[in-house]
Amino acid sequence: MIKAGIIGSTGYAGEELVRLLLGHKNTEIVWYGSRSYIDKKYADVYQNMFELVDAKCMDDNMQELAEKADVIFTATPQGLCASLVNEEIISKTKIIDLSADFRIKDVKTYEEWYKIEHKSPEFIQEAVYGLCEINREDIKKARLVANPGCYTTCSILTCYPLVKEGLINPDTIIVDAKSGTSGAGRGAKIDNLFCEVNENIKAYGVATHRHTPEIEEQLGYAAGREIRINFTPHLVPMNRGILVTAYASLAKDVSYEEVKAVYDAYYGKEKFIRVLEKDVCPQTKWVEGSNYVDVNFKIDPRTGRIIMMGALDNLVKGAAGQAVQNMNLMFQEKESEGLELVPMFP
């Protein structure tokens, strides 16, 4: 059995980790970490766990946890994992960090966009970016995995094949993305109150959102050079889901069949990426509660551009599901173990 500890288990992504790991036949959760609810029964925080989880919440003592767990998930705000991790800990256990602390390889870029000092830059180069479908072999050997963000996972996977194959000019990419409110976390914020969100849609973080450099860095690896994109997120009144609509100029004239062949070459054998049939647009309701990403595209010959579309559940493939997928790779488990989730509808 894989012994797993979760720091930040009472946030939305942390609770989703608990839900998924309870359904994983080869994993035991040994630590329900939560700074806000120490000594409170986990099922009192999330009553859906009544008679499923009998444990109490514990603190974020990673030093002690490293002695008990084979893998530690840190579903915590930016900066916490970097402030806790050290060589002694990482030599005893594997870490899957759901924050952005180890996603960006340049320390100055991280500090510029996140406005905090990085506390353990010595581990940045070692950390593997945990986008399973792209970095699978490196993840298998990793001690420290940087679990990608929800917007970034959807944006990168939607655009990656066409960037990698040079079918589009990556500097012309515009990503328009929509997210459900759970993407903002469980903390109390005025902007997330029901009356603020209901019957409303708004852009935020325009030209400043922190996922921008993460998308640029990863798509830059695919392009073989640095790139610059426009990324604009929007908040929509639903619990879960990310919808990405990305636009780019084509590098050459291509047919539907040529582009479809590229997507199929990259994703045709991937369990969790579904390339939809012609003219079928991805929708968040068809991936909700699952680890699937639905992608598709539409060529616009009138403008010489292509529209790339993707949808995922921000708490599953965009956070906890991808973290479990990474764990499976790191421990030589079946990659889909604990993730055989049929999308929920309605």
171 & 40 share domain:
no
The answer to whether the beta carbons of residues 91 and 70 sit under 8 Å apart is no
- If we measure between CA atoms, which residue out of 186, 92, 101, 185 comes closest to residue 143? 92
Same domain, yes or no, for 242 and 93? no
Q: How many residues does the chain have?
A: 346
Residue 187 placed within a domain: yes
Angle between helices 321-330 and 12-22 (to 10 degrees): 50
In this prediction, residue 192 carries a pLDDT of 86
243 within some domain: yes
Q: Which two tokens stand for residue 71?
A: 């893998």
Nearest to 112 by CA among 185, 213, 234, 220: 213
Q: Which residues pair with 244 in a beta bridge?
A: 177, 310
Closest by Cα among 159, 7, 170 to 98: 7
Q: Is 159 a catalytic residue?
A: no
164 in any annotated domain: yes
Q: Answer yes or no: do 293 and 158 share one domain.
A: yes
Same domain? For 309 and 160 the reply is yes
Residue 236 backbone class (left: φ over 0; alpha: ψ -120 to 50; beta: rest): beta
The answer to whether residues 294 and 274 touch, using CB atoms and an 8 Å cutoff, is: yes
Q: What are the C-alpha distances in Å from 195 to residues 190, 191, 200, 206, 267?
A: 9, 9, 9, 22, 40
Q: Is 218 helix (H, G, I), strand (E, B) or coil?
A: helix
CATH number of the structural domain spanning residue 38: 3.40.50.720
**Do 166 and 291 belong to one domain?**
yes
Is beta strand 305-312 parallel, antiparallel or unpaired with respect to 94-97?
A: unpaired
| Structural domain boundaries enclosing 202 | 151-314
Judge whether 183 and 314 are in contact, CB under 8 Å.
Answer: yes
Q: How many CA atoms lie within 13 A of 210 on its CB side?
A: 17
**Bridge partners, 29 (sequence order):** 4
Are 21 and 90 found together in one domain?
A: yes
162 in a structural domain: yes
Tokens of 95: 């870490």
Can you give the pTM of this predicted structure?
Answer: 0.96
Nearest to 98 by CA among 319, 339, 330: 319
- Say yes or no: 160 and 276 in one domain: yes
Please indicate, yes or no, if residue 142 is contained in any of the structural domains: no
**Residue 330, domain member (yes or no):** no
State how far the Cα of 187 lies from the Cα of 218, in Å rounded to an integer: 29
Interacting residues of 58 by C-beta distance below 8 A, sequence separation 6+: 31, 32, 33, 34, 38
CATH of the domain at 281: 3.30.360.10
For residues 177 and 121, membership in a common domain is answered with no
Q: Choosing from 57, 132, 150, 154, which is the catalytic residue?
A: 150
- Has residue 131 been placed in a domain? no
Q: How far apart are CA 343 and CA 272, in angstroms?
A: 12
Query: Around Cβ 276, how many Cβ atoms within 10 Å?
Result: 17
**Do both 106 and 221 map to the same domain?**
no
Does 288 share its domain with 183?
Answer: yes
Please count the structural domains in the chain: 2
With 0-12 / 13-18 / 19 or more C-beta atoms within 10 angstroms meaning exposed / middle / buried, residue 331 is middle
Give mean pLDDT in consecutive 10-residue pieces for the chain, a chain of 346 residues: 98 98 98 96 98 97 97 96 97 98 97 96 98 98 97 98 98 98 87 92 96 98 98 97 98 97 98 98 98 98 98 98 98 98 96
Please indicate, yes or no, if residue 256 is contained in any of the structural domains.
Answer: yes
Nearest by Cα to 129 from 332, 331, 337, 322: 322
pLDDT for position 113:
96
- The answer on 246 and 120 residing in a single domain is no
Token pair belonging to 138: 């490196």
Q: What's residue 64's pLDDT?
A: 97
Kindly state whether residues 68 and 182 are assigned to the same domain.
no
CB neighbour list of residue 81: distance below 8 Å, 6 or more residues apart: 7, 74, 95, 97, 99, 101, 102
Which of the 8 DSSP states describes residue 238? S
